[in-house]
A and B are shown apart, each in its own frame.
Chain A
Amino acid sequence: MSELDYLAPPTVEDAVRALAAGGGSAKVLGGGTDLLVQLRAGRIKPGVIVDLKRIPGAIGVREEAGGFVIGAATPGAVIGEHAGLVGAWPGVVEAANLIGSTQVQGRASLAGNLCNASPAADSVPAMIAAGATCLVVGPAGRREIPVEQVAVGPGRTSLAADEFVLEIRLPARPQRSGDAYLRSIPRTEMDIAVVGAGVALTLDAAGTVTAARVALGAVAPTALLVPEAGAAIVGTPLDETALEALDAAARAAARPISDKRGTADYRIKIAGVLARRAAAIAYRRAADQGRGGRA
Chain B
Amino acid sequence: MSKRHISTTVNGDAAEFLAEPGATLLDALRDELRLTGAKEGCGSGDCGACSVMVDGRLVCACLMLAPEAEGRRIETIEGMAQGGRLHPLQQKFLEHAALQCGFCTPGLLVAAKALLDQNPDPSETEVRYWLAGNLCRCTGYDKVIRAVMDAAADLRQVRRAS
Contact = CB atoms under 8 A, between A and B. Distances in A.
A18 B64 CA distance: 20
Interface in A230-271: none
B57 A106 contact: yes
A8 B68 contact: yes
A104 B45 contact: yes
Nearest to B4: A6
A104 B22 contact: no
Contacts of B1: 2-5
Given A102-B130, A103-B48, A103-B133, A6 B65 contact: yes
Given A2-B1, A104-B60, A8 B44 contact: no
A2 B22 contact: yes
A107 B57 CA distance: 8
A104 B133 contact: yes
Contacts of B133: 100-104, 190
Task: Using C-beta atoms within 8 Å of the partner chain, give the interface range for chain B.
Answer: 20 to 34
Contacts of A77: 57
Contacts of B121: none
Task: Using C-beta atoms within 8 Å of the partner chain, give the interface range for chain A.
Answer: 20 to 34
Interface string A38-75: 01110000000101010000000000000000000001
Nearest to A190: B132
A103 to B, nearest CB: 5
Interface string B52-65: 00100111101111
B37 interface: no
Interface in B63-89: 63-65, 67-68, 70
A207 interface: no
Among all A-B residue pairs, the 4 with the closest Cβ atoms: A101-B133, A1-B22, A6-B21, A4-B22
16 contacts: A4-B22, A6-B4, A8-B70, A32-B64, A33-B45, A40-B43, A40-B44, A49-B21, A51-B68, A75-B57, A77-B57, A101-B45, A101-B132, A102-B130, A102-B133, A103-B45
Interface of B: 1, 4, 20-24, 43-46, 48, 51, 54, 57-60, 62-65, 67-68, 70, 111, 114-115, 129-134
